[in-house]
Amino acid sequence: MNVMLKGLLASVVLVVGAGAIGDASAQAVAAAQCEGCSYQQKIEAARGEVDFGGVAVFSLSTGEINSFVISPNLTITEVPVRAELADYYAELVYLYQRNGGSLEFKVPIDVIRSDMSAASGRAFRAQSAQAAASDYDLPENAYEAISNSSKMNNVHAWMETKLPSFIAGGQSVIRVFNPAVWLGSKSSQVYVRLEFHDQSTVLITYNYDSKMWERVPNSARDGHNNSIPEKREDFAGGGYREYNFQGPPSTDIQNFLVWAHQNGIPISGSVSHTRLACSSAGGGAVQCVAY
């Protein structure tokens, strides 16, 4: 059965395919993304995802989803899509379409500060956004998002109740973040890119299993789009990594030097240079050189 979602919140009425997806309560469904695919291509995508068992094939751009079952003898059968999965998918497509064809949402840190201020009943004006920062223990940049779990927990707590309505323009899409069934595919995961004043960013996502918002490991970027290392061994990226700090913001290289010192990484060469190279021979100690 092929389900085309007509409009952002079209009604999808589907029944459960007994062999496709079990009746366990909360669960991830094996899934393959196949954008704008023909029926034959969907079958091929299903076979490429699992050897046998149930699998969903979806296309966010067209709003289509199909459920297949591959038997141990390798025959493949299309079955009805489970109702809970259809409901979840309808809202996922709504988010995707509302966000211009992406499941990554950009949220400036001041949006969180503003909302916290409004929730506490204090008057908030756009020009007072920076002053309001002192009232809330939130990370100031991506480095703090990595190093200070307490501050990030405040961000996660805000997202727990505020984000669904924020990104959906006031429409309730809470089931996308706490569904009974969801697609077990990275391409169907909803992400939030938290943006800071220094142009650094970090990704956050909802963990369906733990029912909690979490920071995505190794997702932090500075204003120059350099990857921000989380641990000492990450500075060399497994062997060698270069960092480019040419041009503004100047805070990027300053934050990097402080972060390197805190992680015990020696840096040689003049710090007036705007390029650094970090290496670790044979998995040994990491060293960085400014050039």
Cα 233 from chain centre: 24
259-to-21, 128, 217, 231, 262 alpha-carbon distances in Å: 47, 30, 17, 10, 5
Cis peptide before 249 (omega within 30 of 0): yes
- pLDDT tens-digit series, residues 50-91: 999 999 999 999 999 999 999 999 999 999 999 999 999 998
Interior CA angle at 49 toward 43 and 53, to 5°?
A: 80
Q: Map tokens 């909302």 to a residue.
A: 115
* Residue 217 to residues 39, 128, 143, Cα–Cα distance (Å): 36, 32, 12
Task: Give the burial class of 70: count Cβ atoms within 10 A of its Cβ; 0-12 exposed, 13-18 middle, 19 or more buried.
Answer: buried
The reply to whether the predicted model has a pTM over 0.85 is no
At 209, the pLDDT band (50, 70, 90 cuts) reads: confident
The string of pLDDT tens digits covering residues 118-173 is 766 544 444 444 444 444 789 999 999 999 999 999 999 888 876 655 555 545 45
